[in-house]
Amino acid sequence: MSAIQATRGTRDILPEEIPYWQHIEAIAREILGRAAYQEIRTPIFEQTDLFARGMGEATDVVSKEMYSFQDRGERSLTLRPENTAGVVRAFVEHNLQAQGGIQRLWYLGAMFRYERPQAGRQRQFHQLGLESLGSADPRADAEVIAIANDWLQAIGLKNLRLEFNSIGDRTDRQHYREALIAYLTPHKADLDADSQDRLTRNPLRILDSKDQNTQKILQAAPSILSYLSPESQKRFEQVQQLLSDLGISYRLNDRLVRGLDYYTHTVFEIQSDDLGAQATVCAGGRYDGLIAELGGAETPAVGWASGIERLVLLLQKMQKPPVKALDFYLVSRGDRAEAQALKLAQTLRQTGFSVELDLSGSAFGKQFKRADRSGAAACLILGDAEADSQTVQIKWLASGQQASLAQAELLANPDALRQQVQTAQTEA
């Protein structure tokens, strides 16, 4: 009888890995909070139509990567492949724009895409993202990029690079699209098979083909930047100026296009070279048309999303996980002592200390061995002798110093005890 395994493309995040996640999330909460962002939690599944309209029917994500199913009421539902559409849906549904000003929202949660699993790519994965809804000001673009930058830096990641581009508004892009098709059509026979197919389906995406010959042909291709209207050009330059003023370095990449249809003007990716084929850890841009597309008022917006698994992979490559800080490991042996040990553990916990209680009942020698491995600052020892006299032995594991004191005395001055624990922990 074989045991059931986690399904393909999903995985368990075991306690050993959790410190990395908590580190990433804690810093995000801090930095997003300081930037006046508020958390939003939207459903994990939505009506299929929301994603089809939001991301574009022709995109790969919609056409072949969605986890869609019918529920018992015959509704077509889809596990969210990304969360911008869901956040925008909530924004429109609850009329958040009526609250005035701009809405700054962030989210964290599981996303689902039916793809072939690979390093840094699962079918269920987690994204942390933000959406700044309601401002067309170039400062909004620069602000969201600056927040991403601060966050990734505060996490401790190095060697990241920001790729930055503008794809203009719809009209700019239409003109460019025509020019690109006009340029590539004579070379069609020399393009790789995928690119030939994309020439009619989604020509902009030919730009990031990895095929060498295609890239060679593209060297002389027209640039999107030559097709920006004067207004689009101006806002592109403004965002760049703001980034420079903030001291954020970026690489202009006029070949950077994004896979989802809703982007306008600013698009960017933050990439790492340490992840193999999945280089992008954070990506986003402006999406001025999406909110109206989904039934809301015409509202400019900009945002990004970041894949947590990829950040965890990068962190694991560069640092050891933080060791858990345990204050006390409590060993006990004998009927009276064991009964008292639980009470003592609870009292210490209620006073604010962390305590691991050894439940094995095995020989003291074994319990000490576990105490040592627990990483605790001190071992508390409770045998029947101590139980009878209402005392406890405290042994500081790093120094080996041991003392006997009344249980009441241990808790008489929590601040002093906390001080001792901290001293022991910093020494260890």
Instruction: Show contacts with RNA in window 224-253 (CB under 7 A).
Output: none
**Which parts of 60-119 interact with RNA (CB under 7 A)?**
60-61, 65, 82, 113, 115-119
Task: Kindly identify the residues of this chain, within the stretch 30-59, that bind RNA according to CB under 7 A.
Answer: 59
Binding window for RNA (CB under 7 A); candidates: 17-25, 120-128, 152-160, 412-420: 120-128
Options 333, 340, 341, 417; binder of RNA; rule CB under 7 A: 333
DSSP character at residue 118: B
CB-nearer residue toward RNA: 36 or 403: 403
Contact 122, 55 (CB under 8 A): no
> Least distance in Å: CB of 37 to RNA?
18
Candidates 231-239, 242-250, 272-280, 295-303; binding stretch for RNA (CB under 7 A): 272-280
**Should residue 279 be labelled a site residue for RNA when binding is judged by CB under 7 A?**
yes
In the set 29, 175, 177, 370, which binds RNA (CB under 7 A)? 370
Alpha carbons 11 and 192: distance in angstroms, whole number: 35
8 Å CB contact between 92 and 294: yes
Among the candidate windows 8-16, 40-48, 179-187, 293-301, which touches RNA by CB under 7 A?
A: 8-16
| Cα angle for residues 43, 48, 53 (degrees, 5° grid) | 105
CA distances from 91 to 94, 99, 129 (A): 6, 11, 15
A 10 A CB-CB count for 7 gives: 9
Which residues ranging from 134 to 173 are in contact with RNA (CB under 7 A)?
none
How many Å separate Cα 73 from the centre of its chain? 34
With b for 16 or more beta-carbon neighbours within 10 A and e for fewer, the 126-139 pattern comes to bbbbbbbbbbebbe
Cβ nearer to RNA, comparing 59 with 299: 59
Options 4-12, 69-77, 293-301, 407-415: segment touching RNA (CB under 7 A) = 4-12
DSSP letter for 363, please. -
- Binding-site member from 130, 155, 184, 282 for RNA (CB under 7 A): 282
Q: Which residues touch 197 (CB under 8 Å, ≥6 apart)?
A: none
Please select the residue that binds RNA; options are 25, 150, 211, 274, rule is CB under 7 A.
Answer: 211
- By beta-carbon proximity to RNA, the closer residue of 57 and 237 is 57
